[in-house]
Chain A
Amino acid sequence: MRTPVLLLLLLALAAAFAASLLLPGSSLFGLDPGLAAAVLIELRLPRALLALAYGATLGAAGAAVQALFANPLASPDLTGTTSGAALGAVVTAYLFGFAAPLALSAGSIAGALAALALLLALAGPRAETATLLLAGLAISALAGALTTLALALAPSPFAFYDAYDWLMGSLIDRSLDQAGFAGLAGLLTIALLLRLGPALDRLALGEEVAQSLGDDVGRLRLQVICLTAFGVGACVAICGAIGFIGLIAPIFARRLTRARPGQAILPAALIGALLLTLADLAVRLAPLGRTLPIGVVTALIGAPFFLWLVAHMRWRLRL
């Protein structure tokens, strides 16, 4: 892995974080200092921290899932993890309300785990791209349908509106506590995934060889699945579903650093954080009159990228 690339990424990330705190300056520097501090700490800091935490978690989780399935098109959203987490959270929210972060997280982590376990059962551990995507699509569709059903059965119009608003994915109006919760969960997930990096690298030699080298592949698979479900579930519980970062960040990370699949976890986390912070800045600075949900923006940018990727792979493999 190349240290200069990592340093450059860190620098870019610091710049984006600072920009996300300070821009637009007009609503900060003209104000009374107390009010400006309040805007900074109560509004902008949680939002910037959430972009960092969620983006980094998605990037690291995407890199780990891609390494686990030995497939560059695996990612938490394409494999149904995010939709499973969203379903778990919506169901929990009806029971406990959206203001109970712990219950909500537990529900969304359970949903994410269920989706990943179902994927593994359907597609198998070394799934071909087509099988993986089809199984992921089926799981996403099922979770999506059940989420819609849950929305249709909403206990009240307010519950419906809350759930719908949250589902679109947003970093706005979250408290510093919520940001801290997502940040801690994300940090823990990334730290533990980094420890699995060398074993994930060896898995790239094939499952049998990894076992002959002394790795317990079954346990590794379980660890990656539980960790990504935990990290993604915790972030989805706070901010709703945000797509495509988990797919794109690891691909960029491996391109930039020529890293092996397990080594790509750290650069993928940095790139994920950078991408989501930039997407949030774009949302905020776009002269549209109203704020777009960030989940819509990442999907608008990510989906064409995904299409390009599929077409590129098709050309390369000459299918």
Chain B
Amino acid sequence: MILQASGLALPGRLADASLAIGEGELVGLVGPNGSGKTSLLHALAGIGGASGDVALGGVDPRRLGPRLRPSYLTYLPASRDIPWPLLARDLIALGGGGADFPALELGPLLDRRVDTLSTGERSRVLIARALAPRPKLLLLDEPTANLDPLWQIRLMELVRAEIAQGGRAALVAIHDLDAADRYADRILVMNGGRIAAEGLDQVTAIFGVERVAGRWQAVRPPAADPRSSR
């Protein structure tokens, strides 16, 4: 196992979440809105002070400073907003720099300011920022949001190719159950701040949707969030 995390807790957000990810694995993280997907990514990335233990390649990445951290993990937030009008080139360099990705076709974007890019273009730049340091663990929150269908496929294939190089893995929060099913080696289902299930067998109980003749359909109200039943 390259990542082992246990007892991750943040009051009101995460309740004792534990997970392990093996080398070369792309793990999909699905769950209803507010189930704690982003909070789990934050806890692993050292954002927001959740308690619990994290070991990534034998090291707690939350103790590492800006010099080493990007080679252990990088985090792509779901928001594509960048507070400062940086040049795309500077943005990627500030994330720790490193490899370029011809597959992302960033050439014409590098000398433009990120606030002048379209949302999809900005997404590609931000993804390049997360991939460039070649981290052991990629934490990606909705990486395919805002991308057209071709770029969604290219991006997920790029992520797969990246983690196929030894000693790397990815945890990808994603709402699209079909995409999760298609690209992930394993799927973790979150509900109520904990990891409630593995695989899509129980999605009907958690999400209240069911695949009928190849299409997702609403079947009944989803199970109540255990946090609100108190």
Contacts and interface: CB of A to CB of B under 8 A. Distances in A.
Interface of A: 67, 70, 126, 198-199, 201-206, 208-209, 211-215, 258, 260-261
B47 A206 contact: no
B75 A214 contact: no
Given A205-B91, A205-B95, 8 more contacts: A204-B82, A208-B42, A208-B47, A211-B48, A212-B75, A213-B69, A214-B46, A258-B87
A204 B84 contact: yes
Contacts of B169: none
Interface string B110-139: 000000000000000000010000000001
30 contacts: A70-B83, A126-B83, A198-B66, A202-B66, A203-B83, A204-B82, A204-B84, A204-B86, A204-B91, A204-B94, A205-B86, A205-B91, A205-B94, A206-B81, A206-B82, A206-B83, A208-B42, A208-B47, A208-B75, A211-B48, A212-B46, A212-B139, A213-B70, A213-B95, A214-B46, A214-B64, A214-B65, A214-B66, A214-B68, A215-B66
Most buried by A among B45, B46, B68, B83: B83
Contacts of B90: 260
A208 B77 contact: yes
A258 B111 CA distance: 11
Contact of B79 (A70, A199, A202, A206): A206
Nearest to A259: B90
Nearest to A204: B84
B27 interface: no
Contacts of B42: 208
Contacts of B28: none
Decide if the interface of chain B is mainly helix, strand, loop or mixed. Answer: loop
Nearest to B141: A208
A208 B95 CA distance: 12
A206 B129 CA distance: 13
B36 interface: no
B96 interface: yes
B77 A213 contact: no
Given A202-B94, A204-B84, A206-B81, A213 B66 contact: yes
B73 interface: yes
A209 B69 contact: no
B74 interface: yes
Can you list the 4 inter-chain pairs with the closest CB atoms, starting with the nearest? Answer: A70-B83, A204-B84, A214-B69, A212-B75
A302 to B, nearest CB: 23
Contact of A212 (B68, B74, B84): B74
Contact of A260 (B46, B70, B94): B94
B86 A260 contact: yes
A202 B83 CA distance: 11
B66 A70 contact: no
Contacts of B77: 206, 208-209
Contacts of B69: 212-214
Interface string B83-109: 110110011001110000000000000
B13 to A, nearest CB: 14
A199 B81 CA distance: 19
Interface string B186-219: 0000000000000000000000000000000000
Most buried by B among A206, A211, A212, A258: A212
A224 B139 CA distance: 30
A198 B96 CA distance: 11
B50 to A, nearest CB: 12
Most buried by A among B47, B73, B94: B94
B45 A211 contact: yes
A206 B94 CA distance: 11
Nearest to B81: A206
B8 to A, nearest CB: 15
Given A70-B84, A209-B77, A201 B94 contact: yes
A199 B86 contact: no
A261 B94 CA distance: 12
B111 to A, nearest CB: 10
Contacts of B84: 67, 70, 204, 260-261
Contacts of A199: 66
Contacts of B86: 204-205, 260
Nearest to A258: B87
